[in-house]
Structure 1
Amino acid sequence: MKSLGKKIRLLRHQNGWSQEDVAKRLDISIPAFSKIETGITDVNLSRLQQIAKLFDMSVVQLLNFNDADEEKKYTTDLEQANKKLQERNNDVIELQKKVIELYEELRKNYAGKN
């Protein structure tokens, strides 16, 4: 069951939910949900159906969910987002340089008139 708990934890992270968020949605305590994620508690079929529905999956999809592939996809998505963020940071730096250049040009023109 530890593998199922890891899958549930990965799905929870992908949705940006805390353990508290999921526990509330399942109408259970946070410690009870934590035990599901860590594999301490076995999940009965009705709870499994409830969890699958929460993640908009069938029970079969949840059980067959390949966490290695999904984690790789999640990591790739994160790397792409970081790359885009770095590109935008570079764009901002270039725009800041242009603003400084224009400011210096205006300052020189103003100083030359006085």
Structure 2
Amino acid sequence: MKTLGKKIRLLRHQKSWSQEDVAKRLEISIPAFSKIETGITDVNLSRLEQISKLFDMSVVQLLTFNDAESQEKYTSEVEELNKKVTEREKEVIDLQKRIIELYEELRKAKH
């Protein structure tokens, strides 16, 4: 349930709401809401429905929230890293060519 709490905290931050704001909307105490966010308290279905309505989403959306975003972020990070690796490989190849050229120049200069 800790991941659910993290999702709820992320949604709360996106709305710029404090724990107090959300606790009031859910008609629970701030410590009770804090325990939901930290995963100390398991969330029952009725509370889950209440929280999902608060964030204008279905229970399924709430439970799967951030999964797609994480995947998209991961994919874009991997693509960016692949580009960097490709650039570095080209740099290494260019440096290897330059080393070979310099070696050939030294060899010719000795003879």
**If the length of structure 2 is used for normalisation, what is the TM-score?**
0.61
**Shift in Å at residue 69 of structure 1?**
2.2
Structure 2: gaps spanning 5 or more residues: 74-111
Q: Tell me the TM-score normalized by structure 1.
A: 0.59
Q: Match of 1:63, SS? A: helix
Gaps of 5+ in 1: 74-114
> What pairs up with 1:3-42 in 2 under 5 angstroms?
3-42=3-42
Q: Distance in 1 between matches of 2:67 and 2:5?
A: 11
Matched AA of 1:59: V
Within-5 A mapping of 1:8-87: 8-66=8-66, 69=69
Please identify the structure whose Cα radius of gyration is greater.
Answer: 2
- SS state of the match for residue 40, structure 1? coil
Q: Report percent identity of matched pairs.
A: 86
Structure 1 contact 6–38 (Cα < 8 Å) conserved: yes
Cα displacement (A) at 1:61: 0.2
Instruction: Report the aligned-residue RMSD.
Output: 1.8
Could you give the per-residue CA deviations for residues 19-50 of structure 1, whole angstroms, max 9, x where no partner exists?
A: 00000000000000000000000000000000
